[in-house]
Structure 1
Amino acid sequence: MSARPSRAVRRPLAAVACGAALTLALGACSSSGDDGGAGGGKGTASDSSRPQLKISGAYVPQPPTDKMAGGFLTVRNSGGTADELTSVSSDVAGEVEIHRTVKQRMEKVDSLRVPAHGTLTLGRGGNHLMLMDLEHKPVKGQTVTFVLHFAESGSVTVKAPVEATNYTPEK
């Protein structure tokens, strides 16, 4: 009697091996972040440990002057590693500054942290974006494009509607 498995046994084993190889190959090619957010591009076997960013609630209140405007949005990180918002550019501003508010005072900062499994909120009275050197005054109904640059997740483009000057988003 031979120690080799019969053909009936070898074929199912080959099929299992091919199926496992195909699953691994497809998994390596898939992109994390199919929701349009950031976090793909540097995929690993354990993407849950990478930052997984999703941007929501972006808007720009119509500014009272044509000099500067504010920008607001929320960055949610469902990944297991923190990220950092390091810079922002816009199609309507010569410069976009990242500001934080400490004891009711605004101060320009180089970056803001997006915690693992957490949220960075840019909103009225708190951390926010300042659009400086406006090319034109954004008016209600228009859209402002932001490019958010993150230390780990790269760049993310966000379209923000221009809302009324006194607009307050629903919570």
Structure 2
Amino acid sequence: MKLKTICAAALSAMFLAAPALADGMISIHDAYARFMPGGMAGAAFMEIRNDGAEDDRLVDVRSPIAKRVELHTHVAGNDGVMQMMHVPEGFEVPAAGSHVLARGGDHVMFMGLVERPRDGQTIPLTLVFEKAGEITIDVPVDNAR
């Protein structure tokens, strides 16, 4: 009888804590990375969802696979050619909304690869948010996407 009571109490505690965990929750969806053939660079893309009541901001990224990992975006230069540039202030993820990192737009950039990930492998990536803190994910390499 005592084991049954302990299990019931543990389950109750988990369910009661769930709403607090959901408030301000950041989740990552459809993450993948691509690497240029024979190159020393690559990029990661994903959807970042904020199910919380407050805006948050992705402010930094880290991964052991590259010497530099930065948040980047594409902007049109004076000549109309798209150029990538570092976004040191990061990307806002609005409350009850999302921010998409996609090809041709905002993305995670890997520069100076320490190792060259192959198609089908996963790479560790730590996303750093102002409020949610650090979230580490395994990102699949999908060069065909």
Residue type at the aligned position of 1:30: A
Shift of 1:32: 5.3
Aligned residue number for residue 106 of structure 1: 84
Distance 1:89 1:106 in 2: 18
Within the candidate set 25, 30, 36, 2:17 is matched to 30
Distance 1:30 1:55 in 2: 21
Specify the SS of the correspondent of 1:163: coil
Aligned residue number for residue 155 of structure 1: 134
Aligned residue number for residue 73 of structure 1: 46
Structure number with higher relative contact order (C-alpha < 8 Å, ≥ 6 residues apart): 2
TM-score calculated relative to the size of structure 1: 0.67
TM-score calculated relative to the size of structure 2: 0.78
Distance 1:82 1:65 in 2: 39
Specify the SS of the correspondent of 1:141: coil
- For the 8 Å contact 1:55–1:76, the answer to whether it is kept is yes
Structure whose residues are more often strand by fraction: 2
Distance 1:67 1:129 in 2: 14
Distance 1:133 1:122 in 2: 21
Which of 1 and 2 has greater Rg?
1
CA RMSD in angstroms, aligned pairs only: 2.4
Shift of 1:62: 3.3
Aligned residue number for residue 12 of structure 1: none
Q: How many residues align?
A: 129
How many percent identity over aligned positions? Answer: 32
Distance 1:63 1:70 in 2: 9
Aligned residue number for residue 27 of structure 2: 54
Is 1:84 matched up with 2:84?
no
Which runs of 5 or more structure 2 residues have no equivalent in the other structure? 1-8, 77-81
